[in-house]
Amino acid sequence: MRVRMKIRKGEEVKFISQLDLMRALERAIRRAELPVKFTEGFNPRPRISFTPALPVGMTSDAEYMDVEFAGELPLDRILARLNSCLPPGISVLKADTAEGKIPLSSVNRAIYTVVVDAGGDATPELLDKAIAELLARPEITVTKTSKGKVKNINISPLIYSIKITRVEGSRAELRMELAAGQEGNVTPPVVIKALLEYIPTITVCRMNRDELFLVREGKRNDPI
Amino acid sequence: MEIKKVLDEVLPEVSKPTRYTGNELNSVQKDKQKVKVHIALAFPDVYEVGMSHLGIKILYHLLNEREDVYAERVFAPWVDFEDVMRKRGIPLFSLESKTPLSEFDFVGFSLQYEMSYSNVTNMLELAGIPLFSRDRTDRHPILIAGGPCAYNPEPLAEIIDLFVIGEAEEVILELIDLYLDHKKSSKSRMDFLEKAAGIPGIYVPAYYRVNYNEDGTVKEILPTKPGIPERVQKRIIKDLDRAYYPTKLIVPYMDIVHDRAVLEIFRGCTRGCRFCQAGMIYRPVREKSVDKLTNIAREMIKSTGYEEISLASLSTSDYSALKQLVEILIGEFRQCMVGLSLPSLRIDSFTLDLARKIQEIKKSGLTFAPEAGTQRLRDVINKGVTEEDLLNSVKGAFEAGWNTVKLYFMIGLPAETYVDLEGIARLAYRVVDAYREVRGNTKGLKVTVSTSTFVPKPFTPFQWEAQIPLDEIEERQRFLKKKLKGPNISYNWHDGKLSFLEAVFSRGDRRLNLVLKKAREKGCRFDGWSDMFSFSKWMEAFREAGVNPEFYANRSRHEDEVFPWEVIDPGVERSFLLRELKKAREAKPTPDCRFDRCHGCGIMKLKGGIFCESKNED
Ligand code: SF4
């Protein structure tokens, strides 16, 4: 049976990589003595798949994994057993069968909460104006290095919305809806970098991925 | 400064931030206000190296079993983070509670290799702790050091307050009890150190004076107060089955060098290779029982979820019930897909069979360590392996499907000639021939020859010998480079300059403390990492300290010379080592006392060896 799980990655583990998180979950499954299925071949690995990587340094309430178990197990038992074996900062929020759900690799959109400090004399009003100007631009070019090559990409079509949801002194909480996944990907740190052109004093205090889902033909599909 | 907050800010810019965050599974969280003794276990290398080390795991969990103690970890920050720390004024801090090192009661360094000394001094600087013991006051932590390099404590004698000699599991608890008493009194740090010097296995250098001869050699090392022992005898754990062993091991998030559950199967070795320090200082041989090991393994996997168990010892094949143990472990863990690895396995027909069972070696290739290229030189160093043994094992392995072989040798061994170097190359080619014989061609074969340079070590039969000069090291490497060419053979070698420095510090004396200070001022650190190592800075440091490094590395010693490290008593006697040196000079081997009579190494006085008791000394 294939089980889909929604996973939280908290403050304690926000600097670990996607690979580290996967390994931590595999080991937790072994500690929980849950009968996971393994791949065939010389170097058997547990049959587990994940959603695309979260940037290092960010917490998340919306990581997903599929685990294939040998035989049928009650979902609430899997949830309880696994949660009792996970290290601090990692927990399973929900578990459900993976049958009939969207493939994890198909997700294409994410919502983030980003708390920033505008810094210096910059006010939240100024920040609001900067965001409006950024969003109005047809092209926002950022440089990206992947595999040693520097590339210019236009992130404008990858940003769906940025809103200020709360203000406290020089601090502001932003809600960003951005493209995520294989079709196109932009992360909050990249967006903030673009905002630095308008307000160079911005610093990031906290980043969290709140939601991750697939939008197809204008309809939202959640992994779970 | 709130270190946690600053970390949030700076870590996104640092490589491998997980090195500094802690919070791993089974790491220990305690309220530091509620404990009586706060101790930092410091490993002078990066996280992924230090976390792979067994000793620190044992001590960490052992100490944290006590409610009145909180043991935390600290590793050397990698250079990019060090820059950030210096720029932002972040003091070196512990992984668990992010407490500055200078606020601890104790900081204990694990000394595994000499070339980490510059990291010890750098870590002290980053912690804001004065380098020399004499400059520290009651408000500073007490610096402890242990590990194999502590068997010659002298190069760090002015830096470290007290050394733990030998296995620390018991003595560290005695030391903490003493400290608890001490805290109740209002006495000074020196008073504590003086009392500590009375605990067997603890060496407090401040209470010893070294007198030198005119030629610069040591004349004598004398205790400066009554009650301080003349020599400090190492400590051992007599019964390993009853000794503490942690099963709730910390499971790191990031990839570390050895990321698996480690099962220590025995301590000590009796093979008696004459260059090998571990083989002498870790005697006597003591094993854990199969029952005990099976239980530990089971619990370890339960509490870590590791996908692999690795057997740890100096020489896996020497465990007396290896076959039984391996079969039980395989049976036990087949179901949950936990693999088994047997490092430092001597390959012969028996172990090849085991290796096949666990399929371990196929992944990593076969490793052989003949150490020397001719039978004569192997007899000199007492490496009891013949060329025929080796070739038979290699053939067996090729028949079983392996095609990668690594051969380890040492160059610059005492009495080595170019005939012996030639022998290294010849052996490599004979391995190629063996492959051709078995497979009909050389397709797919890879033979890697690695040479390190012989470093004479304290408490070995070769402690009297010289290391060959640096230019000669490089000459011999060039010779081998020329000889070891071919489509199936590759050759790599250790940096001779590093081996030279290692030779200086491994047999150094107190005058090297000043060199370490100078090297710190010049910015030396991470010497074991080739892109960080600066030989010229070290040479400047020697010059400024007025110390000639060749005096330590390249001088052969007179039979009667007093050695700086002889303030330590490792159990094995000087007379035995000298007998072995003389046999080496006649190229006479000494068989393993496990299968032979007792050769009177002297360790019997410590009791506990599994072979010693049944034998009469000769
Ligand atoms: S005392 Fe004798 S039997 Fe024991 S380790 Fe030494 S030489 Fe071997």
Q: Confirm or reject: Cβ of B57 under 6 Å from ligand 1.
A: no
Q: Per the structure block, which two tokens stand in for B248?
A: 């709730």
Q: Per the structure block, which two tokens stand in for B207?
A: 């209470």
Closest-CA distance, B125 to chain A, in angstroms, reads 27
Q: Confirm or reject: Cβ of B611 under 6 Å from ligand 1.
A: yes
Interface test with B, best of A14, A15, A33, A34 (most B CBs within 10 A): A15
- Local structure of B97: helix, strand or coil: coil
Q: Per the structure block, which two tokens stand in for B413?
A: 């061994």
**Local structure of residue B365 (DSSP, 8 states):** -
* Tokens 């067997």 found at: B200
Asked if B97 and B4 touch (Cβ cutoff 8 Å), the reply is: no
Per the DSSP assignment, residues forming a β-bridge with A46 are A38
pLDDT, residue B590, reads 96
What is the CA(B603)–ligand 1 centre distance, in A? Answer: 6
Whether the predicted pLDDT of B91 surpasses 70 = yes
What is the CA(B589)–ligand 1 centre distance, in A? Answer: 16
Within 8 A of B363 by CB-CB distance, chain A residues are: 43
Within 8 A of A27 by CB-CB distance, chain B residues are: 25, 251, 304-307
What is the CA(B272)–ligand 1 centre distance, in A? Answer: 10
Whether the predicted pLDDT of B334 surpasses 70 = yes
Contacts of B372 (CB under 8 A, 6+ apart): B378, B380, B381, B383, B409, B410, B413, B416, B420, B423, B424
Within 8 A of A43 by CB-CB distance, chain B residues are: 363
**Local structure of residue A38 (DSSP, 8 states):** B
Q: List pLDDT tens digits, range B141-199.
A: 999 999 999 999 999 999 999 999 999 999 999 999 999 999 999 899 999 999 999 99
What is the CA(B238)–ligand 1 centre distance, in A? Answer: 15
The residue-averaged pLDDT of B531-553 equals: 97
Asked if B366 and B405 touch (Cβ cutoff 8 Å), the reply is: yes
* DSSP letters spanning A59-93: EEEEEEEEEEBSS---HHHHHHHHHHHSPTTEEEE
Q: Per the structure block, which two tokens stand in for B534?
A: 């600066």
Note the residue count of chain B: 618
Per the DSSP assignment, residues forming a β-bridge with B308 are B339
Interface test with A, best of B6, B9, B23 (most A CBs within 10 A): B23
Could you say which residues from 58 to 117 on chain A have a Cβ atom under 8 Å away from some Cβ of chain B?
Answer: 85, 87-89
pLDDT, residue B361, reads 45
Asked if B526 and B79 touch (Cβ cutoff 8 Å), the reply is: yes
Position with higher pLDDT, B294 vs B618: B294
pTM of the prediction?
0.94
Per the DSSP assignment, residues forming a β-bridge with B110 are B146
Within 8 A of B254 by CB-CB distance, chain A residues are: 16-17, 20
Contacts of B39 (CB under 8 A, 6+ apart): B63, B69, B70, B71, B72, B104, B105, B106, B107, B108, B176
Q: Per the structure block, which two tokens stand in for B149?
A: 């390099």
- Residue B359's pLDDT band (boundaries 50, 70, 90)? low
pLDDT, residue B266, reads 96
Q: Confirm or reject: Cβ of B525 under 6 Å from ligand 1.
A: no
pLDDT, residue B400, reads 81
| CA distances in angstroms from B196 to B22, B179, B185, listed in the order given | 32, 9, 15
Q: Per the structure block, which two tokens stand in for B416?
A: 């080595």
| CA distances in angstroms from B71 to A94, B37, B167, B511, listed in the order given | 36, 8, 18, 32
Closest-CA distance, A221 to chain B, in angstroms, reads 32
| CA distances in angstroms from A196 to A158, A189, A199, listed in the order given | 18, 11, 5
Mutate to test the pocket of ligand 1, among B612, B617, B618 (most ligand atoms within 8 A of CB): B612
Asked if A107 and A212 touch (Cβ cutoff 8 Å), the reply is: yes
Q: Do domains B3-233 and B260-358+591-618 have the same CATH topology?
A: no
What domains are defined for chain A?
A: 2-101 (3.30.70.580), 106-220 (3.30.70.3190)
Q: Per the structure block, which two tokens stand in for B345?
A: 């396995």
Could you say which residues from 237 to 256 on chain B have a Cβ atom under 8 Å away from some Cβ of chain A?
Answer: 251, 253-255
B332 touches chain A (CB under 8 A): no
Q: Confirm or reject: Cβ of B603 under 6 Å from ligand 1.
A: yes
What is the Cα–Cα distance from B46 to B119, expressed in whole angstroms?
10
Whether the predicted pLDDT of B364 surpasses 80 = no
Nearest Cβ partner of B253 from A13, A31, A44?
Answer: A13
* DSSP letters spanning B14-65: SSSGGGGT---BT-----GGG-SEEEEEEESS-HHHHTT-HHHHHHHHHHHT
Among residues B504, B462, B466, B468, the alpha carbon closest in space to that of B115 is found at: B504
Within 8 A of A189 by CB-CB distance, chain B residues are: 12
Among residues B51, B18, B42, B207, the alpha carbon closest in space to that of B120 is found at: B42
Question: B572: left (phi > 0), else alpha (psi -120 to 50), else beta?
Answer: beta
What is the Cα–Cα distance from B121 to B127, expressed in whole angstroms?
10
What is the Cα–Cα distance from A107 to A209, expressed in whole angstroms?
14
What is the Cα–Cα distance from B592 to B270, expressed in whole angstroms?
6
State the Cα torsion B355-B359-B365-B369 to the nearest 10°. Answer: -10
B79-88 and B117-127 are packed helices; what angle lies between their axes, rounded to 10 degrees? Answer: 20
Among residues B105, B165, B157, the alpha carbon closest in space to that of B132 is found at: B157
Asked if A165 and A114 touch (Cβ cutoff 8 Å), the reply is: no
pLDDT, residue A120, reads 75
Counting one residue from chain A and one from chain B, the pairs whose CB atoms sit within 8 A come to 66
Could you say which residues from 478 to 517 on chain B have a Cβ atom under 8 Å away from some Cβ of chain A?
Answer: none
What is the Cα–Cα distance from B56 to B109, expressed in whole angstroms?
9
What is the Cα–Cα distance from B361 to B341, expressed in whole angstroms?
8
What is the CA(B460)–ligand 1 centre distance, in A? Answer: 15
Closest-CA distance, B24 to chain A, in angstroms, reads 7
Q: List pLDDT tens digits, range A80-138.
A: 999 999 999 999 999 999 999 999 999 999 999 999 998 877 788 889 999 999 999 99
Closest-CA distance, B252 to chain A, in angstroms, reads 9
Strands B446-453 and B404-411: parallel
- The answer to whether A56 contacts B24, with C-beta atoms less than 8 Å apart, is no
Domain boundaries, chain B: 3-233, 260-358+591-618
Q: How far apart are the first and last CA of chain B?
A: 65
Weakest-pLDDT range from B344-348, B419-423, B424-428: B344-348
What is the CA(B602)–ligand 1 centre distance, in A? Answer: 7
Nearest Cβ partner of B17 from A15, A26, A42?
Answer: A15
Nearest Cβ partner of A15 from B11, B307, B337?
Answer: B11
Q: List pLDDT tens digits, range A153-176.
A: 899 999 999 999 999 888 999 999
Nearest Cβ partner of B251 from A21, A27, A44?
Answer: A27
Q: What percent of chain B has pLDDT over 90?
A: 84
CB atoms within 10 A of CB B56: 22
Q: List pLDDT tens digits, range B270-301.
A: 999 999 999 999 999 999 999 999 999 999 99
Element (H, E) at B412: none
- Residue B486's pLDDT band (boundaries 50, 70, 90)? confident
Q: List pLDDT tens digits, range A181-213.
A: 988 999 999 999 999 999 999 999 999 999 999
State the Cα torsion B238-B240-B244-B247 to the nearest 10°. Answer: 170
pLDDT, residue B618, reads 46
- Local structure of B363: helix, strand or coil: helix
* Amino acid (1-letter code) at residue B518: K
Whether the predicted pLDDT of B617 surpasses 60 = no
Contacts of B284 (CB under 8 A, 6+ apart): B236, B268, B270, B571, B603, B604, B606, B608, B609, B610, B611, B612
Phi first, then psi: what are they for A220, rounded to 5°?
A: -90, 130
B585 touches chain A (CB under 8 A): no
pLDDT, residue A13, reads 95
What is the CA(B282)–ligand 1 centre distance, in A? Answer: 12
Mutate to test the pocket of ligand 1, among B267, B269, B270 (most ligand atoms within 8 A of CB): B270
Q: List pLDDT tens digits, range B203-237.
A: 999 999 999 999 999 999 999 999 999 999 999 99
Weakest-pLDDT range from A40-44, A75-79, A179-183, B362-366: B362-366
The residue-averaged pLDDT of B528-533 equals: 92
The residue-averaged pLDDT of B595-610 equals: 89
B290-304 and B322-333 are packed helices; what angle lies between their axes, rounded to 10 degrees? Answer: 30
The protein residue with its alpha carbon nearest to ligand 1, atom 2, reads B598
Taking the CA of residue B520 as centre, how many other CA atoms within 13 Å lie in the half-sphere pointing to its CB? 21
Asked if A18 and A55 touch (Cβ cutoff 8 Å), the reply is: no
- Residue B343's pLDDT band (boundaries 50, 70, 90)? confident
- Asked if the bond preceding B284 is cis, omega within 30° of 0, the reply is yes
* Tokens 């007396």 found at: B320
Element (H, E) at A203: strand A203-216
Tell me the average pLDDT of chain B: 94
- Asked if the bond preceding B246 is cis, omega within 30° of 0, the reply is no
* Tokens 């205790």 found at: B223
* Tokens 């060090």 found at: B82
A177 touches chain B (CB under 8 A): no
Mutate to test the pocket of ligand 1, among B599, B617, B618 (most ligand atoms within 8 A of CB): B599
Whether the predicted pLDDT of B60 surpasses 90 = yes
Within 8 A of B12 by CB-CB distance, chain A residues are: 15, 56-57, 189
Position with higher pLDDT, B145 vs B610: B145
- Residue B64's pLDDT band (boundaries 50, 70, 90)? very high
What is the Cα–Cα distance from A56 to A17, expressed in whole angstroms?
6
Q: Does domain B260-358+591-618 have CATH number 3.30.750.210?
A: yes
Closest-CA distance, A69 to chain B, in angstroms, reads 13
* Amino acid (1-letter code) at residue A215: V
Phi first, then psi: what are they for A17, rounded to 5°?
A: -80, 170
Q: List pLDDT tens digits, range B112-122.
A: 999 999 999 99
Question: What fold does the segment set B3-233 form as a domain?
Answer: Rossmann fold (3.40.50)
Per the DSSP assignment, residues forming a β-bridge with A60 are A9, A209
Q: Per the structure block, which two tokens stand in for B91?
A: 């003091």
- Residue B362's pLDDT band (boundaries 50, 70, 90)? very low
B387-399 and B349-358 are packed helices; what angle lies between their axes, rounded to 10 degrees? Answer: 30
What is the CA(B611)–ligand 1 centre distance, in A? Answer: 7
pLDDT, residue B317, reads 87
